[in-house]
A and B are shown apart, each in its own frame.
Chain A
Amino acid sequence: MGLSQLLKIGGLLFFKRFSNGFISILKTSPMLRAGLGILLLIVLMAIFEPLINGYLLKGHKSTEFGLFERLLPPSYEHPLGTDHFGRDLFALQLTGLLYSLVIGLIAGGVATIIAVVIAVTAGYTGGKLDAILNSATNAILVIPSLPILIAITAYVRMDLILMSLTLAVFSWPGAARATRAQILSLKEMSYVELAKVSALNKVEIMFTEILPNLIPYIIVGFANAIVGAILAETGLRMIGLGPSEIPSIGFLLNRAMDSGALAQGYYQMVLAPAFLLILTFISLNLINVGLEEVFNPRLKKITGG
């Protein structure tokens, strides 16, 4: 069976199977629904940022200086007021959200792809190659990422892509380990034994039996990687690092605090980006907890214990 055929059929199967299973999963857990709902809201806000801001700012970019009067309080025209540079804060938050999500997406996506490729290779071949890859992964995992990230961002001129890739380099080992652990446990399943006895070779088993059941974990890992990257970027921002052309949420937060917004009483400048960050984080946690609710069977307890 050709690899391209496998992938095509795999794709069709995934979609059908998951849309069926997905709906019943949604029905089970209110937390999952809440988490996904919030995530959807955030994503929509980010996707529609160009439209919304195009309408609100009449063609101007939200980062343009001096568009409006400085330091206006919240009003109907400016729901969150304006900042020190005369920029509408509400529009700015949306832009920040978009950039943060894009960074998260690229960093998370690249990290997940690397992690899956390495984990699958290690899991499928087993033996020496697995041992080597595992050690390498663990070695990178142990490296303290924050100091190195600080060093890199401080000395190297960053753009969006480079920033994302740098973050990805440090987050893939965690995902790879988790994925490999999943693969190892899936390898023990009885249906894998049945496949072996049906004369399927290692590649076929990996792609037809193991990978489909790995997808939910990969998706959750992907979501985790996205938020992890967003938070890591924010962390770097809070120390003042990172390119100022990229107005991520972390950047906005940092700028607001640096300019003394809290002391001056312009609370919304700090609270708005913080709120968006917290919302993102909460949505991910709800999704994680919700998925655990769905997939983990309840343990039975002995009465009176």
Chain B
Amino acid sequence: MVVQKILEVVDLRVYYKSIYGDVKSVDGVSFSVNPKEVFGIAGESGCGKSTLVEGVLRLIVPPGYIKTGKILYKNNDLLSLNDEELRRLRWGELSYIPQGSMNSLNPVLRVEEQMVDAITSHTDTPKEEAREMAIARLKEVGLPVEVARMYPHELSGGMKQRVIIATSILLKPSLVVADEPVTALDVVVQKGVLQSIANLRDNYGITVIFVAHDLAAHAEIVDRLVIMYAGKIVEIGSIFKIFEDPLHPYSKLLVAAIPSIEKDVVEGIPGLPPSPLNWPTGCRFHPRCPYAMPICSTKEPPLKEMKQSRLVACHL
């Protein structure tokens, strides 16, 4: 049975205009997301993952612009919508938790006031009903009811992050995009927040796109994973398969580079990520790839299906 994809991205390119020319942050990315899964996007800093989700949600501001690409959300072309239609789509259908958003809670409003504001400014829901919705969502992310009457500065980092998650699902969206939601958190708190995110999928059927550079976090909650490098996708597949048998050399090195209590030896990846002003020719990983062949520096490998539902971009 073919499941309708909730999100399909085809050959998306997001560039930034600069005095040095176009900065090609996202340079030809295609993928699709199944409904009710946690879809992970991983990669080192600067690989373009944040820009990718900003592009998909049409949050790019000048000097950035979308050069080409198709973005289909439930078969609607997002690029053809005007501002008003986009606004309606957000919160109601597509919700976004940007990096560092736990610090953008309004410090002078109580939690429930901010959540109620979010509801009433997007729908005609009466205040009382909105308040009940807010409290229900707080409970769903595992926060005690008392949090609703508290101010943001009285909450810890983990609690704030959960408030953000609760706020993002207030209007029952179908898709939540979270960009580095656990990066700044302590390990026990991280576990709680990651579990809240997995909960969105397990108990509420919400699709989640989870962007993070920490592969271990992906390993805990993600179903399918995209690994990005230098503005392009190098591998997509089920998280189990990628960890068990990484196909792309970058994926292999990335998995091996994670320090873990189960490993005694950890190998870093030699060299440095390239600059977006000057992507390497051919396969962008070839300067750091231990298996590089002559063809790798001239011809860019296409993203091809290798084994069942696994896509890899490599000449091997």
Which residues of A are in contact with B by a Cβ distance under 8 Å? Answer: 27, 299-305
Contact = CB atoms under 8 A, between A and B. Distances in A.
Contacts of B250: none
A302 B104 contact: yes
Contacts of A302: 96-98, 101, 104, 164
Contact of B91 (A27, A301, A304): A304
Contacts of A305: 118
B261 interface: no
A22 B305 CA distance: 50
Contacts of B164: 302
A300 B118 contact: no
Nearest to B90: A304
22 contacts: A27-B19, A300-B98, A300-B100, A300-B101, A300-B104, A301-B104, A302-B96, A302-B97, A302-B98, A302-B101, A302-B164, A303-B57, A303-B59, A303-B94, A303-B96, A303-B98, A304-B90, A304-B91, A304-B96, A304-B118, A304-B122, A305-B118
Between A299, A303, A305, the greatest number of chain B beta carbons within 10 A of the residue's beta carbon is seen for A303
Contacts of B95: 303
A73 to B, nearest CB: 49
Interface of B: 19, 57, 59, 87, 90-91, 94-101, 104, 118, 122, 164
Nearest to B171: A304
B172 to A, nearest CB: 14
Contact of A303 (B90, B99, B100): B90
B175 to A, nearest CB: 12
B171 to A, nearest CB: 9
A22 to B, nearest CB: 15
Nearest to A300: B98
Binding site secondary structure of chain A? loop
Given A300-B101, A302-B164, A303-B59, 13 more contacts: A299-B104, A300-B98, A302-B96, A302-B97, A302-B98, A302-B104, A303-B90, A303-B91, A304-B87, A304-B90, A304-B96, A304-B118, A305-B118
B99 to A, nearest CB: 8
Nearest to B91: A304
A299 B90 CA distance: 19
Contacts of B19: 27
B237 to A, nearest CB: 29
A33 to B, nearest CB: 14
A299 B96 CA distance: 16
Contacts of A299: 104
Contacts of A27: 19
A72 to B, nearest CB: 51
A303 B87 CA distance: 9
Nearest to A303: B96
Contacts of B57: 303
A304 B98 CA distance: 12
B217 to A, nearest CB: 21
Contacts of B99: 300
A238 to B, nearest CB: 42
A299 B164 CA distance: 17
Sorted nearest first, the 5 A-B pairs with minimum C-beta distance are A303-B96, A304-B90, A304-B91, A303-B90, A300-B98
Nearest to A27: B19
